[in-house]
Structure 1
Amino acid sequence: MPQRACSTVRLAIALVVVASLGACIPPSADTPVSKPAPQRAAPRLPTDLVALIEPEPVWEARKVAPNAQQVAESLYTVQPGDTLRSIGNRTGAGSEMLALANGLEAPYVIRPGQKLRVPAGRYHLVSEGESGIAIARAYGIAWRDIVDRNGLEDPFILRNGQRLLLPDPGKRPQTMEERAAAFRIDIDDILTGGQPALREGEETARATPTPKPLPATAAITEPSRFTGSFAWPIKGKVLSPFGQFGSGLRNDGLDIAVPKGTPIKAAADGVVAYAGDEIKLFGGLVLINHGSGWVTAYGHADSLNVVRGQKVTRGQVIGLSGASGFVSEPKLHFEIRRDRKPVDPLLHLPKS
């Protein structure tokens, strides 16, 4: 049946493996790119393949109302039985910001009579199912700014009742249309803000090897640690290497030329953190979390056959190459990231 170029999430139960392998990794968001290619139809797949389509990305499943509360700076005297969470509920400030403002470190021990500074600002109260990306979109601000402002750390899973300090809105409130126009997401935003908030006591969902989409309200359990090595996701001529280019532009990965329809393979064992096309530059994109802070990215796919929360193994076909996104020829954009920072894939791949 005809397939639309890179639907939000395309899952195929089986995939025809092509005999010839060829591959290329395209430029990153900062790398010069050619004019966006016209929309192309994905190749026809055999009729025995069944596609399961997730209707919307995780951050669209739970809409966020921009109802942040303004909190004035004050001093709070710790009472018997208080915790940072309960103090946050009383004052309207976030427990993370209370800890940062008062130099507290885990396990955040506080004593009755202790004076705590309550930092001023606008605080958003997180509700169950809300994701960081959805929160950022509601206010028309960058999610990474919220991460930095609140000192959020891996695994970046929010919780129901958590309060997030928002960046200064500026002199004039934005309209809904202005917030929508200002909103952008990138790979780091998906990795740090794509998980839905959990309710109190809720556990993350374990990855499954079957291509069955997790509910949009389920947060994924990340792999504990990465002990393997990386393999090439596809074979082909490297068009653009990692690093800085002229005019201050930068490629965060490799761009590899490859015929359309070539199988893209997982570079190592891991769990699919994202499969979709919400980042228009990359078109069909898969992000795989390998544990220990390691993540790989695969962009410009023509079709995808894995879903968020699926466990994959090294060498497993995760999609077919194409020219989706802002490219004019079939290629693969491949990145390796460690602790949110892109690293040169050639330093971690076998010599080829």
Structure 2
Amino acid sequence: MRRLAPLPLALTLVACIPSGRADPPGMYDTPPTAGPSTDDTSREDRPDRPRRDRDRDRDRDGDRDRRPDREDQDASTPPQVAEPKPAWVMRKVVPDAVEITETRYTVQSGDSLGRIAERTGAGADAIAHANQLTPPYVVREGQTLTIPGGRYHRVRTGETGIAIARAYGTAWDRVIALNDLTAPYILRLDQRLLIPSKTEVRAMTLEQRAAAFRLDIDDLITGAEPALAANARPAAPVRTARTAVPANVPVRSPTRFTGRFDWPLTGPILTRFGPQGQGRINEGINIGARTGTPIMASADGVVAYVGSDIAVYGGLILIKHGGGWITTYGHAEQLLVTRGQAVKRGQIIARAGETGSAREPQLHFEIRQGRRPVNPLSQLPRRS
């Protein structure tokens, strides 16, 4: 069984990656297509060449024409896609949170949770969380609510959860917990988010500070989508990689999953799901493959992320399938789809490689239900 890269090395790799970094030359390049040669034609037409040489060249050229060519075999494969910068580096977040003191509020006639948040300066999510309110968040006249004190950041156009957390030097999952945010984790313009206190941030260890600026797949699932206007809807998925959804526009995800998962490629399992010893956990499986092997979408869905912002995974794709189901594809050499693109089960989305922390060509494949990793072997067809 292949050994995983030591955790300290993987963490170092991720900590060193700047947002929107440029990939090393050639890491995700599309192989150049050779153009037709003019030498054979001119050589064929030269009458002064011996006949046996001309016959030999014809035989050799015929063999070359009959030899299967990788580009001919994969003529339907889309070209390499140039991804724009991710949304969390496109809009700089100004850390201008307003601090309020914890108070008690008596609900008045005509009040709603949103109106109370506007009056008090607190966040509706934080108020609901502090008072154990559940959807549809109905409040009654005369009811007394606790208005949690703290720092509140008002969400602006194009801001993402990842960018907001980084602006305050804290971890995005901590902001999720404070505000009790749930799927699909799309922020709304003018939404107020409770931010960890300055005291809490100052008390963070160096390791915690480094982790706050280190992306993982959970961050991409919960904090990568840009904020949406109050009454707006996310953009509809596009059909081809040629029509990209702008990075600062949220993408509509499937509402339910009615299909099944298939193997994204065929190959030996190098590393299985679960604990690997020495505190390491594999949240998916690693499948061995030759460099350039087509990687296929495991099920119908919409591409939620394409890029290489998590160093240990190299080229990475996330697909949302509805019902909270998500699949991830890492260590890709080539990325052939774009964010917001609708894909079908079996459609080629990437090519396997040896990127990130991989020590041999392979695919890192995960299946998640919400934020929880699921053993892919429990969802995939049994192989003979």
The TM tier, using the shorter chain, reads: 0.7 to 0.9
Note the alpha carbon deviations across 1:20-79, whole angstroms, 9 max, x for none.
xxxx9996996997998x956245143797655233012122221111111101112222
Structure 2 counterpart of 1:185, one-letter code: L
Q: Does 1:262 align with 2:293?
A: yes
- Out of 195, 199, 202, which is 2:232 matched to? 202
Deviates more, 1:110-119 or 1:231-240: 110-119
Contact 1:25 1:254 in 2 (8 A): no
Taking the aligned partners of 1:63 and 1:129, their CA distance within structure 2 comes to: 9
Q: Does 1:253 align with 2:287?
A: no
Alignment of 1:1-352 (within 5 A): 39=24, 41=26, 42-46=29-33, 51-170=80-199, 182-211=212-241, 212-352=243-383
Contact 1:26 1:255 in 2 (8 A): no
Contact 1:226 1:290 in 2 (8 A): yes
Shift in CA distance, 190/93, structure 1 to aligned 2, threshold 3 Å: same
Structure 1 counterpart of 2:33, one-letter code: P
Structure 1 counterpart of 2:162, one-letter code: I
Q: Runs of 5+ in structure 1 lacking a partner?
A: 1-23
Shift in CA distance, 34/329, structure 1 to aligned 2, threshold 3 Å: farther
Structure 2 counterpart of 1:134, one-letter code: A
Note the alpha carbon deviations across 1:307-351, whole angstroms, 9 max, x for none.
111000001000111111112221110001112111111111112
Secondary structure of the residue that 2:199 maps to in structure 1? coil
Shift in CA distance, 320/182, structure 1 to aligned 2, threshold 3 Å: same
Note the alpha carbon deviations across 1:146-167, whole angstroms, 9 max, x for none.
1122111111111011111112
Structure 1 counterpart of 2:100, one-letter code: V
Alignment size in residue pairs: 326
Structure 2 counterpart of 1:274, one-letter code: Y
Contact 1:282 1:299 in 2 (8 A): yes
Shift in CA distance, 242/119, structure 1 to aligned 2, threshold 3 Å: same
**Percent identity of paired positions between Structure 1 and Structure 2:** 48
Larger Cα-atom Rg: 2
Taking the aligned partners of 1:181 and 1:117, their CA distance within structure 2 comes to: 32
Shift in CA distance, 227/172, structure 1 to aligned 2, threshold 3 Å: closer
Higher relative contact order (CA 8 A, sep 6+): 1
In the alignment, which residue of structure 2 is the partner of 1:20? none
Taking the aligned partners of 1:238 and 1:181, their CA distance within structure 2 comes to: 30
Cα deviation, residue 118, structure 1: 0.7
Shift in CA distance, 32/182, structure 1 to aligned 2, threshold 3 Å: closer
Under a length normalisation based on structure 1, what TM-score does the superposition of the two structures give?
Answer: 0.85
Contact 2:238 2:244 in 1 (8 A): no
Taking the aligned partners of 2:9 and 2:228, their CA distance within structure 1 comes to: 39
Deviates more, 1:247-256 or 1:276-285: 247-256
Secondary structure of the residue that 1:281 maps to in structure 2? helix
Contact 1:68 1:122 in 2 (8 A): yes
Q: Runs of 5+ in structure 2 lacking a partner?
A: 14-22, 36-77
